[in-house]
Amino acid sequence: MSRIFVHGQGAVSPAGWGVPALRASLENERPLPIQSLRRPGWVKPLPVRLVPPPPVRPAFLAHPRLRRASPTTHYTVGAALEAVGHDADLIRSGGLRLGILTCTMTGAISYSRRFYEEVLQNPATASPMIFPETVFNSASSHLASYLGSSAVNYALVGDAATFLQGLAVAAEWLDNGLAEACVVIGAEEPDWTAADALRLFDRRAVHASGAGALYLKTLRPAAAPVELAAVTDSFAPTRAPDRNEAARKMRAQLPAGAPDDLLCASERRNPAWNDWTGKVLTPIEILGEAFAAAAAWQCVAACDAIQQSRCVAANVSITGQSWQAIAARFVNPNYLKTQTRPQP
């Protein structure tokens, strides 16, 4: 099996456009301000954290495929282009086969909601321009078109844990030779239906939107290397009595690690990590709950912490909305210790 290295990260989040904005908000350790979103029929709005407008209008928005695209597509492309960096030109020229994996739970939900509202009013006049944007793979398709990439391209749909499954699929593609580089993106967009649904399960949760991306290759980067050391099995709550058992199985697959490792978790109170004494980062508490995008931000934050020399290894632990438990481990290969790299 090939070794897999992170060659770039991208983030679009309520903290702003770019990894530096994400880093700054996480270092600040204070929850970002809450905005409100109107819910039809209610006076009281729903609490959300929205992506602020970019400081400069991104050039990609002028692309014909992206003008009418959904927010989730814009976030996807923004995060992916930041992660891919200068390789975008190489991909466009046909010099690099790029595999694309988008991961989402709600997809282009604002467009789906808008379209169905139009259907309820009068199906004969519902907009044919909105409907195609509602398919789950519209964001990955637009990204492929923007980059001129005709290689393999999947949209994975599931809870937050799906982003880590996406990393494992990308590793397979790289190992099989289906792609020479892969970008894996987790993206979600703001909509009152998603914020309303989230409130049914956790009244304190704040719905957020945005995207995060990791750019993977088998070649070791010259500077600031981060290696994907492990992705555990994904333990869905099938036949398992509860989510805690799934989380414990997940934890058992990770190596013990070292006391100065970072834990980047989707929730602060996860019984699988009760014995963890190292530093814990929970981006959701600062940025909000954005499902697959939140999982991607966790990974971006973990890789960034290694690159910024704040740790040499980081575990990312996720329990998804379908109670699927999964974890990943990133390491600085220059400081690779035997106990930090799991054996298959």
Partner 1 sequence: MLFPPPKAPPPRRIVVTGAGVITAFGAGWKINAEGFRSGRTAFRPVTLFDVSRQRCKIAAEIDLPADLPPNQLSRGDLRRLQRASRLLLLAGAEAWKQSGWKPDGPLPLILGTTSGEMCLGQQYLRQTLQTPFSFKGQAERVTHYLVQQQGINLANALGIEGQVITISNACASGANAIGHAWEMVRRGRAERILTGGYDALCHLTFAGFDTLQALSPTPCRPFDAGRDGLTLGEGAAVLALEDLSSAQRRGAEILGEIIGYGATTDTHHLTQPEPEGKAAVAAMQAACASAGVTPEQIDYVNAHGTATPQNDFAETAAIQAWAGQRAATLTVSSTKAGIGHLLGAAGAVEAVVSLMALRGQWLPPQTSLQTPDPLCCFQIVRQPVDAKINTALSNSFGFGGANATLIFRRSP
Using CB under 8 A as the binding rule, the residues of this chain from 308 to 327 that contact partner 1 are 320-322, 324, 326
Q: Which is nearer to partner 1, 20 or 95 (CB)?
A: 95
Q: Which is nearer to partner 1, 27 or 233 (CB)?
A: 233
Query: Should residue 153 be labelled a site residue for partner 1 when binding is judged by CB under 8 A?
Result: yes
Query: Cβ neighbours of residue 184 under 8 Å, at least 6 residues apart?
Result: 101, 103, 163, 166, 167, 170, 213, 214, 216, 296
Query: Should residue 169 be labelled a site residue for partner 1 when binding is judged by CB under 8 A?
Result: yes
Query: Should residue 95 be labelled a site residue for partner 1 when binding is judged by CB under 8 A?
Result: no
**In 3D, which of 61, 68, 75 has the Cα closest to residue 104?**
75
Question: Is residue 171 within 8 Å of residue 4, measured between CB atoms?
Answer: yes
Least separation in angstroms between residue 238's CB and partner 1 is 4
In the chain, at which residue ranges do the beta strands (DSSP E only) sit?
Answer: 4-13, 16-17, 35-37, 46-49, 98-104, 153-157, 181-188, 207-208, 210-217, 226-231, 262-265, 279-281, 313-319, 325-331
Using CB atoms within 10 Å of the CB of residue 29, give its burial: 0 to 12 exposed, 13 to 18 middle, 19+ buried: exposed
Region from 13-21, 74-82, 238-246, 300-308 binding partner 1, contact rule CB under 8 A? 238-246
Query: Should residue 35 be labelled a site residue for partner 1 when binding is judged by CB under 8 A?
Result: no
Among positions 82, 159, 189, 304, the unique one binding partner 1 when judged by CB under 8 A = 159
Least separation in angstroms between residue 147's CB and partner 1 is 8
Among positions 70, 110, 209, 234, the unique one binding partner 1 when judged by CB under 8 A = 234
210 strand-pairing partners: 188
Query: Should residue 137 be labelled a site residue for partner 1 when binding is judged by CB under 8 A?
Result: yes
Query: Should residue 6 be labelled a site residue for partner 1 when binding is judged by CB under 8 A?
Result: no
Number of residues that bind partner 1 (CB under 8 A): 84
Tell me how far apart the alpha carbons of residues 179 and 170 are, in angstroms, rounded to a whole number.
9
- Alpha carbon 187 to its chain centroid, in Å, reads 6
Query: Should residue 344 be labelled a site residue for partner 1 when binding is judged by CB under 8 A?
Result: yes
- φ, ψ for residue 131, nearest 5 deg: -55, -50
Query: Should residue 207 be labelled a site residue for partner 1 when binding is judged by CB under 8 A?
Result: no
Using CB under 8 A as the binding rule, the residues of this chain from 291 to 310 that contact partner 1 are none
Q: Where are the alpha helices (DSSP H) in 18-137?
A: 19-28, 71-84, 87-92, 109-121
Q: Which is nearer to partner 1, 25 or 112 (CB)?
A: 112
Tell me how far apart the alpha carbons of residues 126 and 120 are, in angstroms, rounded to a whole number.
9
Among positions 53, 239, 241, 259, the unique one binding partner 1 when judged by CB under 8 A = 239
Among positions 33, 123, 241, 259, the unique one binding partner 1 when judged by CB under 8 A = 123
Query: Should residue 150 be labelled a site residue for partner 1 when binding is judged by CB under 8 A?
Result: yes
Using CB under 8 A as the binding rule, the residues of this chain from 42 to 71 that contact partner 1 are 42, 65
Both tokens assigned to 257: 């690690």
Least separation in angstroms between residue 176's CB and partner 1 is 7
36 strand-pairing partners: 47
Query: Should residue 188 be labelled a site residue for partner 1 when binding is judged by CB under 8 A?
Result: no
Query: Should residue 5 be labelled a site residue for partner 1 when binding is judged by CB under 8 A?
Result: no
Query: Cβ neighbours of residue 62 under 8 Å, at least 6 residues apart?
Result: none
